[in-house]
Structure 1
């Protein structure tokens, strides 16, 4: 399968109810399209479970965006000429990273089980797969960085089967960094994707490793997430959003230059869905002091625009 180049950006994280409609959100997405010259966006939001061992995902409750907000965001993206990947994500309310969601491999009476969790997860993900189908969304992401769940291959295959009953577009799974060669069920999805938060100077080594997976599976690949905060030192640890450092647009731009240069030698890397562009942007005057991932009015914004202009089809 040939995958046209994805010159993309993630929009709307974390999907807080009440923030995806109105002038600010519309202005944000419009600026993203105009300034970065993207041809795709990942409309991305989170639903919550209480703890890493809870078995109920509260996707209908606050703070998760409503279905109407999701439909509005998809419609705006389509009106801007963008292809959409809808990406529902599970977060843990107590702040534990979703990669640590975990249960005993063998069921124990009175303890929460993988079966209970996957039942809830399937209801959650199929709900949004139906919206993706109704809204003619080109790609659907069935999960993000669920490291401890990755070993549950049969249950993930069941999730994908359930999604395919209601959704006819491309299906991907966003594995975490360094996990590309640990997922054993890539054959069940249409597109392999991962989070490309690799430190400056290490991209060639990691791409060598990922290339073995892509060739073995004979599937298209892109980075469903990739980015770096605009903060001193973040180019060496781009996945750490709590890293202490002074704001630095130069550090962010250095990371992007390195990542793009390395990936340019690998034609099997079919693009990026960069991280990230919020629904409500900071004021342009605040760009120099903003140390988050967003590129708005920072040096790396020009880097991305130039790169996407050269690669988009």
Structure 2
């Protein structure tokens, strides 16, 4: 009888642990690279907001959208943008049990959109491919060395993918030879429908800047209704490829018309609207976080110097020291 009771307890324990594993979401923050090293006191606010993941984002640079050479790991970069910095950030975040998505990204000088990167000749395309492969495989090796949970092999590079699809399928094979963890790609909100290689990856990654409402201060209801214009297509892709959806970036500015064109970071948009950010954030959680096929996401964006970041007069994306931070903390505590 005692042995039967022990067996029942064991089975129940396994079932409960299994359910907990299924329910756990990726409650992430996009941890912004800075010029400084980070320490325990920089990570504590991440823990306090109930995040369990952080996206660490080293950078490579292109001089223009037609330049083929990816420049990275230079002395002119900020510490957090380099390989050494990414490693230091990962190790420090790990001390507080924060899991990692390593997400090396391209920045084009003057902030030109990476989705427009396109070469003018076949020779330049080949130079770009070699250069980008070196950049990505270097960080894939770091991801494997540090046993990073997720590796994101690109962010919003639609024209590059459209023009050189075979290269990308080959690059995925090369990454898998170097790195044995989960792989994704961060497609822009209007790009993910056309991304050709989801079947080869572990997550369908989306930078979730979907337009939801044209209202100056959208209500939660406005945003929930806006999501119904996009949800069917997201669900369709999930069903076709049988891959979980991961929001590789999500978030809203605390500004008027915050969900009309949520990708905009124009400095001219500076009229602070904390309610717009809060309502949009609530609606996103209500729409996605309880769906089984949704793995979670990475809040855009989170600065290391929490006490100085954001604030009630800040119109940028970060929720830090704004009412939206409490919304994040509440929802991240649930799953």
Tell me the TM-score normalised to structure 1 length: 0.89
User: Equivalent residue of 1:137, what SS?
Assistant: coil
Q: Give the stretch that moved more between structures: 59-68 or 128-137.
A: 59-68
Equivalences for 1:120-159 in 2 at 5 Å? 120-151=131-162, 152-159=164-171
Instruction: Using the TM superposition, give the Cα deviation of residue 41 of structure 1 relative to its aligned residue in structure 2, in angstroms.
Output: 0.8
Instruction: Using the TM superposition, give the Cα deviation of residue 45 of structure 1 relative to its aligned residue in structure 2, in angstroms.
Output: 2.7
Instruction: Using the TM superposition, give the Cα deviation of residue 239 of structure 1 relative to its aligned residue in structure 2, in angstroms.
Output: 1.0
What's the counterpart of residue 204 of structure 2? 192
Which structure dedicates a bigger proportion of its chain to helix? 2
Q: Distance in 1 between matches of 2:23 and 2:287?
A: 20
What's the counterpart of residue 192 of structure 2? 180
CA contact (8 A) 2:57 2:86 kept: no
What's the counterpart of residue 247 of structure 2? 223
CA contact (8 A) 2:38 2:304 kept: no
CA contact (8 A) 1:41 1:82 kept: yes
Q: Deviations over 1:189-246 (max 9, x none)?
A: 1111111112333212211111111100111111010000111221322211116241
What's the counterpart of residue 237 of structure 2? 213
1:174–1:252 Cα change, 3 Å? same
1:28–1:256 Cα change, 3 Å? same
User: Equivalent residue of 2:110, what SS?
Assistant: coil
Instruction: Using the TM superposition, give the Cα deviation of residue 177 of structure 1 relative to its aligned residue in structure 2, in angstroms.
Output: 0.7
2:75 paired with 1:75: no
Q: Aligned-pair RMSD on alpha carbons?
A: 1.9
Instruction: Using the TM superposition, give the Cα deviation of residue 75 of structure 1 relative to its aligned residue in structure 2, in angstroms.
Output: 0.6
What's the counterpart of residue 308 of structure 1? 332
Q: Distance in 2 between matches of 1:87 and 1:22?
A: 18
Corresponding pairs, count:
297
Q: Deviations over 1:19-54 (max 9, x none)?
A: 2x055xx533321221x1011111113210111111
Q: Following superposition, which runs of at least 4 residues in structure 1 exceed 4 angstroms of deviation?
A: none
User: Equivalent residue of 2:59, what SS?
Assistant: strand
User: Equivalent residue of 2:298, what SS?
Assistant: strand
Greater RCO (CA < 8 Å, at least 6 residues apart): 1
Q: Deviations over 1:119-158 (max 9, x none)?
A: 1100000011111111111110000011212223211111
Q: What 5-or-longer segments of structure 1 have no aligned partner? A: none
Q: Distance in 2 between matches of 1:7 and 1:28?
A: 18
2:119 paired with 1:103: yes
User: Equivalent residue of 1:121, what SS?
Assistant: helix
Instruction: Using the TM superposition, give the Cα deviation of residue 282 of structure 1 relative to its aligned residue in structure 2, in angstroms.
Output: 5.4
Tell me the TM-score normalised to structure 2 length: 0.83
Q: Distance in 1 between matches of 2:144 and 2:23?
A: 19
Instruction: Using the TM superposition, give the Cα deviation of residue 4 of structure 1 relative to its aligned residue in structure 2, in angstroms.
Output: 4.7
2:258 paired with 1:234: yes
Q: Distance in 2 between matches of 1:249 and 1:300?
A: 8
Q: Distance in 2 between matches of 1:45 and 1:3?
A: 30
2:191 paired with 1:171: no
Instruction: Using the TM superposition, give the Cα deviation of residue 159 of structure 1 relative to its aligned residue in structure 2, in angstroms.
Output: 1.2
Instruction: Using the TM superposition, give the Cα deviation of residue 287 of structure 1 relative to its aligned residue in structure 2, in angstroms.
Output: 0.5
